[in-house]
Chain A
Amino acid sequence: MQELGQQVISGLATGSIFASLALALVLIYRSMNVINFAQGEMAMLTTFVAWQLVQDGMPMWVAFAITLAIAFAGAVALERAVIRPVETAPPLTIVIVTLGLFISFNGLAGLIWGYVLKTFPSPFPPTTIRFAGAALSEQDLGVIAVSLGTLFLMYLLFQYTKLGLALRASALYPEQSRLMGIRVSWMLALGWGLASMVGAVSGIMIAPVVFLDPNMMQGVIVYAFAAAVLGGIESPVGAVVGGLILGVLLNLLSTYVSWIGTDLELPVAFAIIIAVLLVRPAGIFGRVHVKRV
């Protein structure tokens, strides 16, 4: 029983890693109905920037703040340069462009910083908290808290600000929004900027645990996709819940189902993606749309 509790707790911790990246995915999806395959690599790149700033002597929190600003500005610039020309193209084109970003960002990080693993400073003290016989580190708790906190901020933004309203409107009803005077194109750029900031936060949270190298996010991105699909690709709440569920589920399956063991976690994630997309494509929290032809 104690082991079950421990596996669940550590599953929540791992799951919050998936959740934080999935949040960024959902943000982009909500603004332009596109899955940004490069989300993980963008997060990784901004985490390297944070690392470099800390290496150069900047205090940790200052470095993080500046990184968020760079993440925002960089993503907006990226969207203007590379996404805007293909905004109206079929989804296939945009998918390929994001894959191109995926490949080049990985190479770029490798070129600048190399592939040797780097330790990343954790904003949390290395203490352990114990309850119900299970152990949780402050780092784990911190990631869960930050994911939930980001979710809450997003909720506030989208539900209670004019900007959030404009973002939602531009995604759902672009023509009508233009008629209302909303600069729809810039709203998309903003969406990218926000997603990139969320991704940067995700990277900063993850790096202390998985260590920093250009391939840091490759072990996470498939699970983040699965989390987003499971929870509902349009729902930020879904992303977080999906991530937590996925983390716990993977841990329990690998511990208690010996046929699956620890080897088959990626195929399980794939199976979840397929199963959800076939049975209930909207995920747990998504709304089912009616297709207008």
Chain B
Amino acid sequence: MRSRQAVLLAFVIVVALLPLTIAPYLAFQISFVASFAIAILGLVILIGHSGQISLGHGAFMAVGGYTVAILLNTAGIPYVASLPIAALVCGLLGIALGFVSLRLADVYLALATFALAASVSPLLKRFGSITGGVQGLLLPTPHAPGPLHDVVRGEVWYYYVTWAIAGLLFALSYAGLRGHVGRCLRAIRDSEVAAVSFGVNPVLYKTLAFGWSAAYAGVAGALQAMATAFVSPGAYDISLSLTLLVGVVMGGLDMMWGAILGGVLVEFLPLWVQKVNPALSSIIYGLALIVIMLFMPGGIAGGIQRFTSIFRLQPRGARETVPIAKDLT
């Protein structure tokens, strides 16, 4: 596997050196690739490895973003402390959602999380005394701390922070997915009954997957709030959750590299498409989703390198007759 490590090393070097050669505003945009990739990676773990779908992870990005914003504005807590708090809060909320999702089969889970994503904005507006309501909350623009302040530009500093955090979270995921946790997740994904018979506790792992992916989405939301220097309810609507899903599918449901590819596509496709026709990006996203599901179940990155595939075709009659709820018979 030397070549895999070599590619990874090359990637790290390019990422590390890029801000030295490109304009700061481009570095700023590429930082969003990193934060999207984190959220998308979380979803890859949830959908690809544990086999549960969520259309509501935009909600966790909202919680993450608002957590750091509120902590900073009301209690002056700096990012270095509030980021882990945001991750923790989202993780716990994710676990809670995970418990609920145990009883909901695929399609119903999709439906419920879709409704969740739609509910975020009204809830944020409602509790305006904490969230700033429709006006939102302003945050300081990203800047390097203390003595570095005059040496390094804010965007560049933010770039390195974001990619460093992304690197850390990716490494954690790699370790987890490669090891025992990953095997248990995939076993449950492929056949819960069989997994149970091997002594794997589905409740533990399924809720863990939810919490994990929610925490990642929370970190991504917090990072983006820091960059934008603003949080408002309008930024967190259903289209954000759908965009994340597009990133997951276009990047590849299985591959971790796919999360980065997904991040690139989600961040830059609207910009590239603008020159032709801005309304085109929805059509491209939608068509891409359909085509990929029809021809490449592993997504684009999955097409490049197959890890494991979740889309094995089943004979129709073998499907469970009631996908309404999972009884614990």
> Taking the complex as a whole, does A directly touch B, i.e. does some CB pair lie under 8 Å apart?
yes
Given that A99-B245, A266-B122, A282-B324 are known contacts, is A277 also in contact with B107, CB under 8 Å in the complex?
Answer: no
At the interface, yes or no: B55 with Cβ under 8 Å from chain A?
A: yes
| Residues of chain B contacted by A290 (CB below 8 angstroms) | 322, 327, 329
For chains A and B in complex, what number of residue pairs have CB atoms within 8 angstroms?
Answer: 172
At the interface, yes or no: A5 with Cβ under 8 Å from chain B?
A: no
B105-133 toward A: CB 8 Å interface, digit per residue (1/0)?
11110111011101100110110000000
- 4 residue pairs, one from A and one from B, having the closest CB atoms: A104-B286, A107-B282, A100-B289, A103-B286
| Residues of chain A contacted by B12 (CB below 8 angstroms) | none
| Residues of chain B contacted by A292 (CB below 8 angstroms) | 320-321
At the interface, yes or no: A174 with Cβ under 8 Å from chain B?
A: yes
At the interface, yes or no: B73 with Cβ under 8 Å from chain A?
A: no
In the complex, the answer to whether A97 meets B193 with C-beta atoms within 8 Å is no
In the complex, the answer to whether A91 meets B107 with C-beta atoms within 8 Å is yes
Give the Cβ gap from B270 to chain A, nearest Cβ, in Å.
Answer: 12
| Residues of chain B contacted by A85 (CB below 8 angstroms) | 294
Given that A88-B313, A92-B51, A233-B324 are known contacts, is A270 also in contact with B115, CB under 8 Å in the complex?
Answer: yes
Interface centre among A103, A233, A289 (most CB of B within 10 A): A103
In the complex, the answer to whether A95 meets B107 with C-beta atoms within 8 Å is yes
In the complex, the answer to whether B313 meets A92 with C-beta atoms within 8 Å is no
| Residues of chain B contacted by A233 (CB below 8 angstroms) | 324
Given that A175-B316, A281-B108 are known contacts, is A110 also in contact with B279, CB under 8 Å in the complex?
Answer: yes
In the complex, the answer to whether B280 meets A107 with C-beta atoms within 8 Å is yes
At the interface, yes or no: A212 with Cβ under 8 Å from chain B?
A: no
B91-111 toward A: CB 8 Å interface, digit per residue (1/0)?
000000000100111111011
At the interface, yes or no: A225 with Cβ under 8 Å from chain B?
A: yes
At the interface, yes or no: A89 with Cβ under 8 Å from chain B?
A: yes
Instruction: Give the distance in Å from the alpha carbon of A37 to the alpha carbon of B319 in the complex.
Output: 21
Given that A107-B281, A266-B122 are known contacts, is A229 also in contact with B286, CB under 8 Å in the complex?
Answer: no
A110-123 toward B: CB 8 Å interface, digit per residue (1/0)?
11000000000000
At the interface, yes or no: A291 with Cβ under 8 Å from chain B?
A: yes
Of chain B, the residue at the smallest CB distance from A272 is B115
Given that A35-B111, A100-B293, A269-B115 are known contacts, is A274 also in contact with B100, CB under 8 Å in the complex?
Answer: yes
For chain A, residues 246 to 273, give those with C-beta under 8 angstroms from any C-beta of chain B.
Answer: 263-267, 269-270, 273
A100-B289, A291-B321 given; name 9 further pairs at CB < 8 Å: A91-B323, A92-B310, A111-B280, A233-B324, A265-B122, A273-B111, A273-B112, A291-B320, A293-B320
| Residues of chain B contacted by A267 (CB below 8 angstroms) | 119, 122-123
At the interface, yes or no: A285 with Cβ under 8 Å from chain B?
A: no
At the interface, yes or no: A59 with Cβ under 8 Å from chain B?
A: no
Residues of A contacting B: mostly: helix
In the complex, the answer to whether A277 meets B289 with C-beta atoms within 8 Å is no
Interface centre among A95, A96, A282 (most CB of B within 10 A): A96
In the complex, the answer to whether B122 meets A289 with C-beta atoms within 8 Å is no
At the interface, yes or no: B288 with Cβ under 8 Å from chain A?
A: yes
Choice from A107, A222, A265 contacting B114 with Cβ under 8 Å:
A222
| Residues of chain B contacted by A99 (CB below 8 angstroms) | 55, 242, 245, 289
In the complex, the answer to whether B294 meets A270 with C-beta atoms within 8 Å is no
Residues of B in contact with A, size category = 35 or more
Of chain A, the residue at the smallest CB distance from B314 is A88
For chain A, residues 131 to 172, give those with C-beta under 8 angstroms from any C-beta of chain B.
Answer: none
Of chain A, the residue at the smallest CB distance from B315 is A88
At the interface, yes or no: B81 with Cβ under 8 Å from chain A?
A: no
Of chain A, the residue at the smallest CB distance from B289 is A100
At the interface, yes or no: A86 with Cβ under 8 Å from chain B?
A: yes
Give the Cβ gap from B133 to chain A, nearest Cβ, in Å.
Answer: 10
User: Can you give 6 A-B contacts (C-beta < 8 A)?
Assistant: A35-B107, A104-B282, A269-B115, A270-B116, A289-B324, A290-B329
In the complex, the answer to whether A93 meets B280 with C-beta atoms within 8 Å is no
Choice from A90, A104, A265 contacting B283 with Cβ under 8 Å:
A104
In the complex, the answer to whether A107 meets B100 with C-beta atoms within 8 Å is no
Of chain A, the residue at the smallest CB distance from B325 is A281
At the interface, yes or no: A65 with Cβ under 8 Å from chain B?
A: no
In the complex, the answer to whether B286 meets A102 with C-beta atoms within 8 Å is yes
Given that A82-B294, A85-B294, A95-B106 are known contacts, is A111 also in contact with B279, CB under 8 Å in the complex?
Answer: yes
At the interface, yes or no: A105 with Cβ under 8 Å from chain B?
A: yes
Give the Cβ gap from B99 to chain A, nearest Cβ, in Å.
Answer: 10
At the interface, yes or no: A278 with Cβ under 8 Å from chain B?
A: yes
Choice from B112, B118, B289 contacting A96 with Cβ under 8 Å:
B289
Interface centre among B108, B123, B287, B316 (most CB of A within 10 A): B108
| Residues of chain B contacted by A54 (CB below 8 angstroms) | none
Instruction: Give the distance in Å from the alpha carbon of A289 to the alpha carbon of B326 in the complex.
Output: 11
At the interface, yes or no: B307 with Cβ under 8 Å from chain A?
A: no
| Residues of chain A contacted by B321 (CB below 8 angstroms) | 289, 291-292
Instruction: Give the distance in Å from the alpha carbon of A96 to the alpha carbon of B317 in the complex.
Output: 21
Interface centre among A100, A174, A218, A233 (most CB of B within 10 A): A100
At the interface, yes or no: A33 with Cβ under 8 Å from chain B?
A: yes
| Residues of chain B contacted by A4 (CB below 8 angstroms) | none
Choice from B110, B246, B310 contacting A37 with Cβ under 8 Å:
B110
For chain B, residues 30 to 57, give those with C-beta under 8 angstroms from any C-beta of chain A.
Answer: 47, 51, 53, 55
Instruction: Give the distance in Å from the alpha carbon of A111 to the alpha carbon of B249 in the complex.
Output: 24
At the interface, yes or no: B24 with Cβ under 8 Å from chain A?
A: no
At the interface, yes or no: A235 with Cβ under 8 Å from chain B?
A: no
For chain B, residues 216 to 270, give those with C-beta under 8 angstroms from any C-beta of chain A.
Answer: 238, 242, 245-246, 249
Given that A107-B283, A233-B324 are known contacts, is A93 also in contact with B293, CB under 8 Å in the complex?
Answer: yes
| Residues of chain A contacted by B112 (CB below 8 angstroms) | 270, 273-274, 277
Instruction: Give the distance in Å from the alpha carbon of A218 to the alpha carbon of B115 in the complex.
Output: 11
